[in-house]
Amino acid sequence: MRESIRKEERKEKGRDKTKKRVKELDSFKGFLIFLVVLGHFLLPLSDSPYPLFNRSFYLIYSFHMPAFLFLSGYFAYGKWKKRGTSFRSLFSYLLLYILMKFMLHRADILFYDVHTTWPDFFHESSTPWYLLVLFFLELTLLPMEIFRRKKTGEQVISFYFLCLILLSIPLSFMKIGEEWKDFLASDRILGFAPFFYLGMLAKLGDFSFQKIHRPPFVLGFCFTLIIILFLPKLLPYTRVFYGTWGYRIEGEAILPFFKKHPTLIRIAFIPFSLCIAYFFYGLLIFLRQKKESIQPEITSRGSQIYFGMERVFQDRETFLMKMGHYSMPIYVFHRPFRDAFFAGGLEQPFWHEGIPFWLILLFYIFLLLLSLLLLFVLGRKTLDNLCRFRFTG
């Protein structure tokens, strides 16, 4: 009897949690995790002479991880405000990091002829860096615990986040970066910290994600076009996309003005990437609103076309929401599949010119479908529970 009551309580709690989630953000998170997987499939083709591959790759990398860190901060602040710092979550990030390091190291041994016995846990510039970044950035909330429930606490917390944003930019250009390199993903921590704290500030300020704000949407559209049309000229500046140390940005063939003032590149990248992310988020909102606006007109005609379109929209939206909810297991487990796929050198023919466009398009569509398939396979509750180290219930 007690067990059945507990089950009902857990179900009710789950329903309440679902109600509180913003559907649009879950859908966008699902879209972002799709881009993460697709971006890793496009990574071996980033230097391909074919625009379909390299434009897609750099467009994805211009905003997908900044947007992910922004949403991570947005969701993390809500949890922290209610319950404070969760050491269980912090510990789970470290365990997942170790798990990913072992998995990817085995993949390196199998597919890339690596001979070392143990992975290097102290240096990280590959996929697991995201988990280390979450660990250290959420750890920075500890000093604010005393202000969490105070009336004037939000002002102090906002000021604290702004200070961390302003500090992270010059710190990312410290000379010590040449020695540390990717030690404990320190470059990524500083490079992506502004996005995480801006997400927290958005949650703290009750920013509305349920309507489209025109200025960032239009700017995002313009920035997207700039990447697509002028990528060759922008390539020296794309180093900032990866959240690297400042010395690596300074080492690129950038204009003399930016050689003298390289921090401006990192500062400009913040609104640049977030506006592109907001443009794609706005497209998702627009498509959803468009579906709702055409409903009365088509339903009145009794059109079967409408019901078919509605089913497609609902299936797409439900799928993206589910993938957004289960983004962590997808992130943790997808990379070995990519490594296995390219182990035979399937990408190498596309490094050279002379391939017919239809074959390029066919391979691109295949990568899209393969990315979707991985989302479908890995976006599971059981794997999500494993990533959160829940083994019961």
CB within 8 Å of 25: residues ≥ 6 apart: 71, 74, 209, 324
- pTM, whole model, 2 decimals? 0.89
Residue 353 pLDDT: 93
- CA atoms of 62 and 224, how far apart (whole Å): 9
Q: How far is CA 365 from CA 34, 49, 332, 337, 387, in A?
A: 14, 18, 24, 17, 30
Give the mean model confidence (pLDDT) for residues 85-94. 91
Residue 294 pLDDT: 53
Give the mean model confidence (pLDDT) for residues 171-179. 95
- CA atoms of 283 and 337, how far apart (whole Å): 30
- CA atoms of 369 and 381, how far apart (whole Å): 22
Percent of the chain with pLDDT over 90: 73
Residue 150 pLDDT: 80
Instruction: Give which of 182, 173, 184, 199 is closest to 270, Cα–Cα.
Output: 199
Give the mean model confidence (pLDDT) for residues 123-132. 95
Enter the tokens of residue 250.
């300074």
Single-letter amino acid code for the residue at 283? L
- The SS3 call for residue 121 is coil
Enter the tokens of residue 344.
């035979």
Residue 18 pLDDT: 45
Task: Give pLDDT tens digits for 318-372.
Answer: 899 999 999 999 999 999 999 999 998 889 999 999 999 999 999 999 999 999 9
Task: Give pLDDT tens digits for 196-255.
Answer: 999 999 999 988 888 889 999 999 999 999 999 999 999 999 999 999 999 999 999 999
Q: Look-up: residue for tokens 């429930």?
A: 149
Residue 393 pLDDT: 44
Query: Which of 132-136, 236-240, 315-319 has the lowest average pLDDT?
Result: 315-319
Query: Which of 15-29, 91-105, 158-172, 208-222 has the lowest average pLDDT?
Result: 15-29
123 forms beta bridges with: 183
Instruction: Give which of 208, 218, 340 is closest to 283, Cα–Cα.
Output: 218
- Do residues 162 and 205 touch, judged by C-beta distance below 8 A? no
